[in-house]
Structure 1
Amino acid sequence: MSPAASVPVPCACAAPYSEDEIKRRIVACPKLASLQSVNRELNALVRSERSVLSQIAEVIRRDPSLAARLLRMVNSVYFGLSTHVNNIEEAVFFLGLRQVRELAMATPVLEELGRLQSGRPLPWRDLWTHSIGTAIMTREILSSTALHIDDDTDYLVGLLHNVGKIIMAYAFPDELQAIIATRVHTPADVAAREREIIGWDHGQIGAYYLGRHNLPDEIVMAVEHHDAPEKAPEHQFFAAAIQVADYVVRHHAIHSGFEQVDSIPTDAWMSLPGWSILYGNEDHENELARAAIGNSLRRLPSMIEGLL
């Protein structure tokens, strides 16, 4: 890459913003939308007498915004549960099919969020595909560690890690265009550019949005620190798995479409802080993890194709 390729694109906006202004804009952001294809399939399932909770939960897992809203609803003060629910199937059980159906029917299409902007098209489907790919790989990566997870947190943290980009499209449209137009070396460089222009990066923005909607701390913290998991005060394993999964998915040319990042070389993820957090410095453990991720990476296209 030539030096000129990474020169920041000027942004004609009064940024970076104060923390209060950033929070104000995030609070003003509307509810996230769902993709129409997921909505149609979900509506068909919840109306069928033969559907089972696992089928409905599997459809919801494909959509980051619908999964976030479902968990927000079930963990709200209204339901008064003593502990947070992180399992999609449990959330469907607690809410009941009627409320899940109403939630799906009340949800606008994800692409419509783009129409709220100044008419500039944004690659929503690319973002969705990247989010699903990262969710799959985050789950695969964490399954290769000693961490025991008995709910959907391993999938949800990957699915929701780029929610902040959706919020930016509504709250900071001009700044987002400048970020998209800038070519950078790594995903961490994208976050640095976001902080330079806006004041917060997409991890911070997404975490603040999710935190306001009552999602569990492990999800919020993983989303906030997925570009620098070593800085997470808690739940580092989740943040680390997202960082590694994001690199692995990008290596397979599954980009979010909301930035221009150089191609990720094979095994580049093994030099990440997230990799050290997950697997340490033991050569044997590293080789086993490398082989497991390689196997998952070979299956990734067919897994994503099945979901799309």
Structure 2
Amino acid sequence: MKTRILFVDDEPNVLSALRRMFHDMRGEWDMAFAADGPTGLAMIAERPFDVVVADMRMPGMDGAMFLREVQIQNPGAIRIVLSGHSDRNMVLETVRPAHQFLPKPCQPADLKAVIDRSLSLREVFLDERVKDVVARLDRLPTVPRLYADLLGLLAQEEPSMREVAGLIAQDVGMSAGILKLVNSAFFGLRTHVSSPAHAVNLLGLDVVKALVLGVGLFDRFDKEAFRDFDLEKLWGHSFGTGRLAREIAEQEEATSAVKEYAYIAGLLHDVGKLVMATNFPDAYRDVIAACREGQGTVLDMERMYFGASHAEVGAYLLGLWGVEDPVVRAVYLHHEPGRDQRAGFSPLLAVHVANRFEHELVVIHQGYALNPLDELYLAASGLSDRLPAWREACAAVVARGPIPEDI
């Protein structure tokens, strides 16, 4: 079946150019074109689309208003802003409803690559509910303690950028949200981002304030609504896995990029659990209960109840948000690295091993079955004999506890 794509722009010349640019994609794409938001919504009402690409500045219903309606009426659609306007306030309006932002002029190959990449993980979902919920998401809940600390910092007359960046870098939801912006070309940032803290420094304090206090990019986790899901423990494990993945990369004297990707992927590897638990609390409560009864691993139970695991859910969300491929691949396959066709040391291998070591070294649930290390993948990568050295180094990291330099 062809991928259905809707282009919305009030400039006839732009729509004509898009028709010409993607004429050779007619065999794969079923394309429609609308000159304004209301016309686009009428088309969506007739039949949903897989991808919606909209201009930001349009008369009447602008791009932000239009995409907010798309979120509601066509929740499974991938939403992309394609605009030549870089006004900060207008960009801020699209931060939540848009998955990614691409500037005009945009090369056809670049837009096609974004669309193909965003669609690449959709096929792993057997459950349409999950796919639609992930695509509809525009923010993730955060640890209440960290969120309150962030609000307190931002309320100060002259907040410390280092402290603000450090807080955001410790939280799974906030880190994912910030990385969405810098990796989707929001604000025209064209540089490799090494960490969530680096992303905060690139955006600047004024933009971070606007995102938190004005746009509401972050959302406080409601403990009362999700009593069976401990976000503090998830944060602790995720933060710990990021630290250990980076330490393993250090032990292998990996490049700085590999070490950075390993840390980010480790921090975000369980973001899918956050999505599933907060959007399907009853079903995820059953997953947790089944694990506690010894019926299988979390991965097994998620696939039984949802048709997909937190690994697929998290990778799909991060892919939609434009997070870089090595991180998405590591999140997607962190339990099953053998499914990757590329053996050898990588952020994926580092996160796979770090996740297991963190569970062994910091036991949260005594009765939970753990996913095994993929011994065949380690052997194919020629790294089986490195496990003892990695385990010793990781144990030392856990023993010393978190320090500011770990963020």
TM-score by length of 1: 0.75
**Aligned counterpart in structure 2 of residue 141 of structure 1, from 248, 271, 283:** 248
Distance in 2 of aligned mates of 1:189 and 1:121: 17
Look up the SS of the partner of 2:322 in the other structure: coil
Query: Is 2:227 aligned against 1:80?
Result: no
Matched residue of 2:285: which SS? helix
C-alpha distance in 1 between matches for 2:205 and 2:382: 41
- Could you list the runs of 5+ residues in structure 1 that have no partner in the other structure? 1-16
Q: Which residue of 2 aligns with 1:190?
A: 298
CA gap 1:159/1:273 in 2 versus in 1, 3 angstroms: farther
**TM-superposition CA deviations, 1:16-72 (whole Å, max 9, x none):** x73544311222345102223323433455546473x54433222111111111111
Matched, 1:252 2:355: no
Structure 2 residue 262 is the aligned partner of structure 1 residue 161: no
Partner residue, 1:239 = 348
Could you tell me which residue of structure 2 aligns to residue 7 of structure 1?
none
Change in Cα spacing, 1:37 to 1:190, as seen in structure 2 (3 Å) is: closer
Q: Is the 8 A contact 2:357 2:391 kept in 1?
A: no
Matched residue type, 2:402: M
Q: Which amino acid aligns with 1:210?
A: L
Alignment of structure 1 residues 1-308 onto 2, 5 Å: 18-29=126-137, 31-45=139-153, 47=156, 49=158, 51=160, 53-105=161-213, 106=216, 107-111=218-222, 115=225, 120-150=227-257, 152-183=260-291, 189-233=297-341, 237-255=346-364, 261-262=368-369, 272=375, 275-276=378-379, 280-281=383-384, 283=385, 285-299=386-400, 302-303=401-402
TM-score by length of 2: 0.58
CA contact (8 A) 1:111 1:124 kept: no
Does the 8 Å CA contact 1:33/1:109 hold for their aligned counterparts?
Answer: yes
Q: What amino acid is the match of 2:392?
A: A
Q: RMSD of the TM alignment (CA)?
A: 3.5
Tell whether the 8 Å contact from 1:57 to 1:92 is kept in structure 2 after alignment: yes
Post-superposition shift, 1:183? 3.1
Give the letter for the 1:73 counterpart.
Answer: L
Higher strand share: 2
The offset of 1:233, in angstroms, is 4.2
Residue 305 of structure 1 deviates from its aligned partner by 11
Q: CA deviation at 1:144?
A: 0.9
Equivalences, count: 276
Superposed displacement of residue 289, structure 1: 2.9
Q: How far off is 1:252 after superposition?
A: 2.7
Provide the C-alpha distance between the structure 2 equivalents of 1:77 and 1:304, rounded to a whole number of angstroms. 31
Kept in 1, the 8 Å contact 2:144–2:221? The answer is yes
Segment of structure 1 superposing worse, 195-204 or 92-101: 92-101
- The runs of 5 or more residues in structure 2 that have no matched partner are 1-124
Computing the radius of gyration from Cα coordinates, the structure with the larger value is 2
**1: distance between equivalents of 2:302 and 2:238?**
19
